Amino acid sequence: MASLTIAVDDDLLRRARKRAVDLGMSVNAFLTKQLERFAEPYGSDDGRERVRRLLELARDGHGHSRGWKWNREELYEDRIGSAKRVR
């Protein structure tokens, strides 16, 4: 296995280490994962897996709408109304 040396700002590395701990991994493991994704040939991931995962999260997520059904017209009206009041 090859080694790679990079120059990173001390504060950036400190914050990255804290974030990695929160994710339960090392900075090295995170960077390796990102390099693997970066090295994939174009077109090898057309986004289907990411879309599948997003839909899975949306389906399994527990929203906090408390029964509210979004109404596009009301939301748009509220936005326009707010913009008119600002002017």
- Interval 3-56: pLDDT, tens: 999 999 999 999 999 999 999 999 999 999 889 888 877 666 667 787 888 888
* 0.75 surpassed by pTM: no
Higher-confidence position of 60 and 18: 18
pLDDT bucket at 87, cuts 50 / 70 / 90: very low
**13, part of any domain:** yes
**35, part of any domain:** yes
Please give the residue range of the domain that contains residue 42: 8-59
**49, part of any domain:** yes
**43, part of any domain:** yes
**75, part of any domain:** no
**15, part of any domain:** yes
Task: Give the count of domains, the chain.
Answer: 1
Is residue 13 within 8 A of residue 27, CB to CB? The reply is: yes
**14, part of any domain:** yes
How many degrees, rounded to 5, is the angle at CA 58 between CA 57 and CA 62? 95
Is residue 16 within 8 A of residue 28, CB to CB? The reply is: no
**2, part of any domain:** no
DSSP conformation class of 47: S
Instruction: Give the per-residue pLDDT at 66.
Output: 64
Instruction: Give the per-residue pLDDT at 62.
Output: 66
